[in-house]
Structures are given as structure tokens and as C-alpha cells.
């Protein structure tokens, strides 16, 4: 499964409720406010259920990941 | 009548080793503060303020996150006789420019003499300070040293304050909210605590657990001042941590046998839906005697979700409670569900919407389940007024007005706004509701205020931000809230008029595309500016052609009429 398109689709559909929205791999997600803090828990649940990778709640911030690229890298590292 | 400083020092003398606050942290061990430690830590700030030449009665703005420095500096300001006011910290999503503008606006209105912040945040604060302005000292937390014993001379200023002096200021956010600093006197705070303690049947063996931010009345009064001044232990969680790990509230209730917590309605849905099963292992909620829904519209459905999810963990159904509160009354106006279950009033939907009367349903007609906020607490009177400010009978919907012995002294330095807020000695809340059998029901708002997750948001602030976006007609923007049942709170919608060519209009019609998909960059820019410039994340933007928005006869944007039009088109 391609990580980036899967994440992009999930974020556009469930979190942003704008299914047609295109999210580029280097768009800022957290620091831009695109994903608000209340949706971070949703994102971490999705990542765990879909990719089997656990994100700790202490990691849900822009320092750990702020873009699809960074999140996908984090997922790949943990899957390896 | 004592003052807050006097009361705190009394606890320091009589019961120094008693636990006052337990601060929970994310990556560090918890920290406990006894009354002795709290007062000595606070006195460190009192000394620093005194040395900086700050005088009693002057405002001190605190820009700090969850932690001991916030507790110390708050009470340290009070021990000095100064007036603390807590300002939200910059979050990663907020635009630093916009934040700086808010700070500058706050400085302009409240004319603070000092600001307390972290060394890392010093540069940010200094950028907001105008040369020649009121701020004479920016105190860094690293400069302050806890006192080792109490120095009577140091406390003379604080102890010379009297019960009618202002003890603290509370603000809601945004350009509009900052204009209205709610100034509260010592006496008002004590009167509220006395009545509210009785309504809660608060006892020394209670344990209050809170994750609420202290810049908000629910966090500051219910989740900070009430327990500390009532000698009830407080377990404090950072709001920043809670939103990422809502289970932490349940772990804290379990570990410290928490008995009371306040939550805005959305948190019932959020906790019920977003916590993994594994994070609830070992959770025992049997000690919880009151979880109090407060600060935004309450839904029976949210209570049901919460109960279904947490009853298996020992949560008692009778612990569900409700409250109607506002900073202008220090905090609580009513309290329900403590000594008897929360009253649910099933009223006729038809009467409610067409006659503006909450009639009990007959037969199987469509009903609205109204959740009672309970009866007024002691020394608070509530009545319902029609639009000409005449009293309305029971069950008639109108504006809630109140009188109490714990009202604000005024909006700080804004006698004009204070005068407007009262009519014949009654404070006009701007909330709509009704009274039945002594229970108060809140059904909506007269003012166009939007409440999202318990935060008060002024639509004019959001409209101002959206109106700055190129392509949007200035002044032709409207913001309002629409309820989202799934989230248990409101979603914010912005409708903005833009210029569209004939071709674009035809294309929109032909392909049945909304204009925001023809001009996605404008819609995105609106979302971005509003999200980064305010306390909310904007989700819904609708772009419309010129002439879509309805105006009142005086040319103002009619928010509720536009909201109805928007909902009808969905």
C-alpha cells in the first residue's frame, strides 16, 4: 500500500471533509493548522490500524512530523 | 471579609503541609505542591514584582503554560496586591504575527505594568511591547527564586487590599474578546465560592481533577481557584497533553480517586469516541461523583455516549451533572445533577420553534430533549426577558438575565461596555432559554457568539480575518456556527462573496461545482488565515456570488438569516 496517497485520502476525507482536496507531500499539516489538535488522535488511530505503527501521544506534534513525507518516513522506519 | 491573599496565608500558617496541587506532566514525574510550597513559590514572584517597582492594583499579564510557574506567578501577583490576567500561550498552529497583534491589543486595553513569561519567549513578548507603553517590566521565570520563609514586609501590599478591590481579570480570546476583560473583586470571588461549594456539597475529602486551560473561566475558577481556596486537592493536567491523550483524565481519576471534574460538552463525545480500549485497562471511575457539563450547549446524546462507554469502568450514571456559568458571574449561575439526577425536559418541537414556548410533549409528537442546567445557586437570581426587557412567564423562551452577589465589578477600563451589559440592575447574558419548575434551560444565544469546544469565538473576528483575503469583498463575509452532533459541539462556517465571471458561473452550473472548487486558492487562503489567526480550525468555507448574503435594513450582515439560508441550501 502506498503510504502517502492512503494518508492523503484519509486526511482529506475524514478529517478535512473535503474529499477532492489535494494534499501535497510537503504541505505543512500541523503548523499550518490544517490538522487541528482534536484531529491528531484520529490520525494516530488511523496510522496504527492501517500500518500497524504506533504513534505515542507525545509524538503528536509538528516536531515529530509536519508533512505527509515526514509522517510516511516515520511509518516506514517503524515498519522496518 | 478577608481577601484571597489573606486566605492563602492563613492556610500557609494553619495547614502548611496539606496538599494543594498535584501537577501531572508528560515526560517528567509529577510535582506536588503543599500550601507551604505554593505560598513560598508565589512569594518569590511577589518579591520580583516588588523589586521591579510594580505597584498594587496594577495588572500583570501571565504568558505561561501548564506548570508550577503559572500557579506561583498567579498567586504571587495576588500576594503583591497586583491583578493577574492569564493570556493563552502561542500554539504551533497560530500565526506569530496574529498572536503578537492580540498581545499588543491586550497591552493597549489593560495597560499592564508587567508581563511574566519564559526566557525562551521573551523576544516574542518584547516585539509586542510599544515603546512608551505601560509595560515597565518583563519578568522571566528564570529570574525568580522561591522564598525560604515568609517576610512580613513583603506581604504588606497584598494584605492592604480590601474586599472590593479587583483581584483578577479574565478575557475571552480574539480582538473582540480582549476588549472585555472581566474584572472581579475579592468579595465576588468569595461569594461565588461560598454558594458554589454549597451547591456541589464540596467536602475536604473531594479531589478535583482538571485539564482545562487556566485562561478560561471554567479552568481558572472551577479547576484552580475553587479547590485551592477550599482546601480540596487539585490534580492538574495540561490541556495540551489531554487533547492528545484524553485517557489521561481517566487515569488521573483512577489513581487519585478523583471525585469532581468539569468538561465542555464536546469532551463527552471526544472521550467516548477517541480512547482506545487498551488505554482504559485498569481504569476505575467509581470514585467520580460529579462530571459536570459546562460552557457550551449540552446534549443528552453526549451524556448517553459517555455513559455507555464508561459505565463498564465503574462510572455511576448519577455522576452526570450540568452547570450554566459565565465569567461575569465569576463562574456558576446554576448547578444541576448533584443531589438529584439531571432533569431532561421533553418539549414539543413545534411549540418550541413556532411559538417560542417549551411545552411538554403530548402523545407522540416530535420532541426536543432539553438538558436542564439545574436551579440557580444560592444568591443568584435568574429571570427570562422578552425583547423589550419585560419579564416572561415559565416555559417562555427569552433572554436569560441575572442578578447575584458575585457579579463582575465591570469590564476593565470599559465603563461603556459595562453599562450596556445591564438593564435595570439585571445582567443581560445574551443567552436564550427558559425556566420551568425552578430549573434553568439554555436553548441558544441572542448574541452571534459561536462556542466551539467551550471556547467563545466572536464571528466578527473571523469575518475580519477572512475579509483580508484577496478576491473577497471586504465586509461581504459572514461567520456562524452550525451544530455537529457527532462532535457534540459547533462547526464554524464562513460564507464569503467573491467576484465571479459569467463563464465561471456557467461552468459552476453546468458541472454543478461549488464556487470554492472553481476558486480553491481563495477558499484555502480563507481557511488558512482564519485558522492561524484564531482559536479554531476552520473547516467549512462557502464562496458565493455577489448579492448572496442577506443584509439587515441598517446594512449590517444578518448572521442568523444567512445561517438559515446556508442550512437550507445544504
Interchain CB contact of B486 with A (< 8 Å): no
- The alpha-carbon gap from B97 to the nearest alpha carbon of chain A, in Å, equals 13
Q: Answer yes or no: do B433 and B455 share one domain.
A: no
Q: Answer yes or no: do B496 and B423 share one domain.
A: no
Q: Are B234 and B71 in contact (CB under 8 A)?
A: no
Q: Answer yes or no: do B129 and B163 share one domain.
A: yes
A41, A43, A54, A61: best mutation site toward chain B, by most B Cβ within 10 Å? A41
Backbone phi, psi, residue B388, to 5°? -100, 15
Q: Which residues contact B510 (CB under 8 A, 6 or more apart)?
A: none
Residue B152 lies in a domain: yes
Q: Do B274 and A45 touch (CB under 8 A)?
A: yes
Q: In angstroms, rounded to a whole number, what is the distance separating the alpha carbons of residues B523 and B258?
A: 45
Q: Do B93 and A20 touch (CB under 8 A)?
A: no
Q: Are B4 and B229 in contact (CB under 8 A)?
A: yes
E-strand stretches of B172-282: 182-185, 208-210, 234-236, 260-263
pLDDT digits (tens, 9 = 90+) for B417-458: 999 999 999 999 999 999 999 999 999 888 788 988 888 888
Burial class (CB in 10 A: 0-12, 13-18, 19+), B508: middle
Q: Do B517 and A42 touch (CB under 8 A)?
A: no
Interchain CB contact of B484 with A (< 8 Å): no
Of B517, B531, B532, the CB nearest to A20: B517
The number of CA neighbours under 13 Å toward the Cβ of A19 is: 0
Q: Answer yes or no: do B382 and B517 share one domain.
A: no
Interchain CB contact of A16 with B (< 8 Å): yes
**Domain extent for B151:** 34-180
Interchain CB contact of B246 with A (< 8 Å): yes
β-pairing, B166-170 vs B182-185, is antiparallel
Print pLDDT tens along chain A (80 aa).
799 999 999 999 998 888 888 899 999 999 888 888 889 999 999 999 999 999 999 899 999 999 999 999 999 999 98
Residue with cell 459572514: B478
B244, B524, B540: best mutation site toward chain A, by most A Cβ within 10 Å? B244
**Predicted TM-score of the model (pTM):** 0.93
Q: Are B481 and B452 in contact (CB under 8 A)?
A: yes
Which of these three, B393, B425, B445, is where a domain ends? B445
C-alpha cell at B434: 427558559
E-strand stretches of B412-486: 422-423, 426-436, 439-445, 450-452, 455-457, 472-484
Residue B527: its chain A contacts at CB < 8 A? 34
Higher pLDDT: B211 or B556? It is B211
Residue of B75, B57, B216, B186 whose CA lies nearest to B134: B57
Residue B540: its chain A contacts at CB < 8 A? 17
First to last CA, chain A: 15
Shortest CA distance from A16: residue in chain B:
B539
Which of these three, B142, B160, B180, is where a domain ends? B180
B 522-541: CB under 8 A from A? 527-528, 531-532, 536-537, 539-540
pLDDT digits (tens, 9 = 90+) for B147-162: 999 999 999 999 999 9
Interchain CB contact of A32 with B (< 8 Å): yes
Residue with cell 464536546: B266
First to last CA, chain B: 57
Interchain CB contact of A38 with B (< 8 Å): yes
- The alpha-carbon gap from A79 to the nearest alpha carbon of chain B, in Å, equals 21
Q: Could you give the 3-state DSSP secondary structure of residue B411?
A: strand
How far from B545 is each of B466, B494, B526, B549, B558, CA to CA, in Å?
Answer: 16, 14, 16, 9, 17
Q: Which residues contact B122 (CB under 8 A, 6 or more apart)?
A: B138, B140
Q: Answer yes or no: do B413 and B539 share one domain.
A: no
**Domain extent for A18:** 3-79
Residue B551 lies in a domain: yes
Q: How many CB pairs under 8 A join A and B?
A: 56
Tally the domains of chain A. 1
Task: Kindly report the CATH number assigned to the domain that includes residue A61.
Answer: 1.10.1200.10
* Predicted pLDDT of residue B145: 97
Interchain CB contact of B93 with A (< 8 Å): yes
How confident is the model over B54-59, as a mean pLDDT?
98
Task: Kindly report the CATH number assigned to the domain that includes residue B541.
Answer: 3.30.300.30
Residue B94 pLDDT > 90: no
Q: Do A16 and B539 touch (CB under 8 A)?
A: yes
How far from B45 is each of B60, B139, B434, CA to CA, in Å?
Answer: 11, 9, 46
Residue of B290, B214, B216, B280 whose CA lies nearest to B251: B280
C-alpha cell at B376: 440557580
Q: Answer yes or no: do B417 and B490 share one domain.
A: no
Question: Any idea which of A18-32, B71-85, B369-383 has the lowest mean pLDDT?
Answer: A18-32
Shortest CA distance from B96: residue in chain A:
A31
Residue B266 lies in a domain: no
Q: In angstroms, rounded to a whole number, what is the distance separating the alpha carbons of residues B471 and B509?
A: 21
Looking at every residue in chain B, the average pLDDT score rounds to: 94
DSSP string, B314-374: T--GGGEEEEEE-GGGSSEEEEESSSSPPPEEEEEHHIIIII-B-PBP-TT--EEEEEP--
- The alpha-carbon gap from A69 to the nearest alpha carbon of chain B, in Å, equals 19
Backbone phi, psi, residue B560, to 5°? -70, -35
A33, A37, A56, A58: best mutation site toward chain B, by most B Cβ within 10 Å? A33
Complex ipTM value: 0.88
Residue B214 lies in a domain: no
β-pairing, B59-62 vs B83-86, is parallel
Q: Are B434 and B443 in contact (CB under 8 A)?
A: yes
C-alpha cell at B409: 465589578
Interchain CB contact of B88 with A (< 8 Å): no
Rg (C-alpha) for chain A, rounded Å, is 11
Residue B531: its chain A contacts at CB < 8 A? 32-34, 36
* Predicted pLDDT of residue B554: 66
How confident is the model over B208-213, as a mean pLDDT?
97
Tally the domains of chain B. 3
Of A33, A39, A42, the CB nearest to B532: A33
- The backbone region for B87, taken as left when phi is positive above 0, alpha when psi lies in -120 to 50, beta otherwise, is beta
Q: Answer yes or no: do B163 and B48 share one domain.
A: yes
Which of these three, B426, B445, B464, is where a domain ends? B445
The number of CA neighbours under 13 Å toward the Cβ of B203 is: 7
- The alpha-carbon gap from A80 to the nearest alpha carbon of chain B, in Å, equals 24
* Predicted pLDDT of residue B1: 65
Shortest CA distance from B275: residue in chain A:
A41
Task: Kindly report the CATH number assigned to the domain that includes residue B48.
Answer: 3.40.50.12780
Q: Do A57 and B270 touch (CB under 8 A)?
A: no
Q: Answer yes or no: do B176 and B46 share one domain.
A: yes
Q: Do A33 and B93 touch (CB under 8 A)?
A: yes
How confident is the model over B27-34, as a mean pLDDT?
96
Q: Answer yes or no: do B358 and B412 share one domain.
A: yes
Amino acid at each position: 500500500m502506498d503510504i502517502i496517497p492512503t494518508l492523503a485520502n484519509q486526511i482529506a476525507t475524514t478529517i478535512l471533509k473535503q474529499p477532492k482536496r489535494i494534499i501535497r507531500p510537503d504541505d505543512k499539516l500541523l503548523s499550518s493548522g490544517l490538522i487541528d489538535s482534536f484531529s491528531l488522535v484520529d490520525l494516530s488511530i488511523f496510522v496504527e490500524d492501517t500500518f500497524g505503527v504506533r504513534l505515542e501521544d507525545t509524538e503528536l506534534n509538528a516536531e515529530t512530523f509536519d508533512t505527509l513525507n515526514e509522517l510516511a518516513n516515520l511509518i516506514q522506519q517503524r515498519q522496518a | 471579609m478577608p481577601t484571597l491573599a489573606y486566605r492563602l496565608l492563613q492556610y500557609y500558617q494553619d495547614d502548611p503541609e496539606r496538599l494543594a496541587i498535584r501537577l501531572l506532566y508528560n515526560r517528567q514525574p509529577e510535582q506536588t505542591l503543599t500550601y507551604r510550597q505554593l505560598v513560598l513559590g508565589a512569594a518569590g514572584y511577589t518579591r520580583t514584582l516588588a523589586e521591579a517597582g510594580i505597584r498594587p492594583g496594577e495588572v500583570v499579564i501571565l504568558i505561561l503554560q501548564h506548570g508550577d510557574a503559572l500557579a506561583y506567578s498567579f498567586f504571587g501577583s495576588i500576594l503583591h496586591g497586583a491583578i493577574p490576567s492569564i493570556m493563552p500561550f502561542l500554539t504551533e498552529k497560530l500565526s506569530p504575527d496574529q498572536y503578537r497583534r492580540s498581545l499588543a491589543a491586550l497591552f493597549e486595553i489593560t495597560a499592564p505594568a508587567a508581563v511574566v513569561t519564559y526566557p525562551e519567549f521573551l523576544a516574542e513578548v518584547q516585539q509586542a511591547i510599544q515603546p512608551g507603553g505601560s509595560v515597565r517590566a518583563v519578568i522571566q521565570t528564570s529570574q525568580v527564586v522561591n522564598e525560604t520563609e515568609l517576610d512580613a514586609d513583603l506581604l504588606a501590599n497584598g494584605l492592604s487590599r480590601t474586599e472590593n478591590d479587583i483581584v483578577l481579570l479574565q478575557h475571552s480570546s480574539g480582538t473582540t474578546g480582549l476588549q472585555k476583560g472581566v474584572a472581579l473583586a475579592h468579595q465576588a470571588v468569595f461569594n461565588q465560592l461560598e454558594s458554589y461549594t454549597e451547591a456541589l456539597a464540596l467536602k475536604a475529602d473531594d479531589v478535583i481533577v482538571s485539564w482545562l486551560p487556566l485562561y478560561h473561566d471554567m479552568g481558572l475558577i472551577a479547576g484552580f481557584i475553587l479547590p485551592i481556596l477550599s482546601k480540596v486537592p487539585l490534580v492538574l493536567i495540561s490541556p495540551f497533553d489531554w487533547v492528545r491523550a484524553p485517557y489521561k483524565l481517566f487515569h488521573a481519576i483512577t489513581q487519585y480517586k478523583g471525585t469532581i471534574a468539569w468538561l465542555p460538552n464536546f469532551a463527552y463525545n471526544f472521550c467516548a469516541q477517541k480512547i482506545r480500549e487498551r488505554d482504559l485497562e485498569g481504569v476505575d471511575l467509581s470514585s467520580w461523583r460529579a462530571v459536570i457539563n459546562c460552557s457550551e450547549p449540552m446534549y443528552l446524546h453526549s451524556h448517553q455516549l459517555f455513559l455507555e462507554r464508561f459505565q463498564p469502568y465503574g462510572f455511576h450514571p448519577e455522576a452526570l451533572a450540568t452547570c450554566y456559568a459565565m465569567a461575569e458571574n465569576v463562574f456558576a449561575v446554576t448547578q444541576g445533577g448533584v443531589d438529584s439526577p439531571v432533569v431532561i425536559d421533553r418539549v414539543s418541537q413545534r411549540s418550541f420553534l413556532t411559538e417560542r414556548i417549551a411545552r411538554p410533549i403530548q402523545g407522540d409528537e416530535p420532541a426536543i430533549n432539553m438538558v436542564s442546567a439545574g436551579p440557580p445557586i444560592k444568591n443568584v437570581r435568574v429571570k427570562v426577558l422578552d425583547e423589550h426587557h419585560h419579564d416572561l412567564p415559565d416555559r417562555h423562551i427569552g433572554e436569560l438575565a441575572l442578578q447575584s452577589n458575585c457579579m463582575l465589578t465591570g469590564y476593565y477600563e470599559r465603563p461603556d461596555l459595562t453599562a450596556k451589559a445591564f438593564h435595570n440592575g439585571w445582567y443581560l447574558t445574551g443567552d436564550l432559554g427558559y425556566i420551568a419548575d425552578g430549573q434553568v434551560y439554555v436553548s441558544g444565544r441572542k448574541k452571534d457568539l459561536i462556542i466551539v469546544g467551550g471556547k467563545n469565538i466572536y464571528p466578527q473576528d473571523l469575518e475580519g480575518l477572512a475579509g483580508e483575503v484577496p478576491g473577497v469583498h471586504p465586509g461581504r463575509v459572514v461567520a456562524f456556527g452550525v451544530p455537529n452532533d457527532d462532535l457534540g459541539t459547533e462547526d464554524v462556517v464562513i460564507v464569503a462573496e467573491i467576484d465571479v465571471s459569467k463563464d465561471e458561473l456557467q461552468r459552476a452550473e453546468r458541472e454543478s461545482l461549488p464556487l470554492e472548487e472553481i476558486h480553491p486558492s481563495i477558499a484555502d487562503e480563507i481557511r488558512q488565515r482564519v485558522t492561524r489567526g484564531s482559536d479554531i480550525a476552520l473547516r467549512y468555507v462557502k464562496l458565493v456570488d455577489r448579492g448572496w448574503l442577506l443584509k439587515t435594513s441598517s446594512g449590517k450582515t444578518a448572521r442568523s438569516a444567512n445561517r438559515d439560508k446556508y442550512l437550507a441550501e445544504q
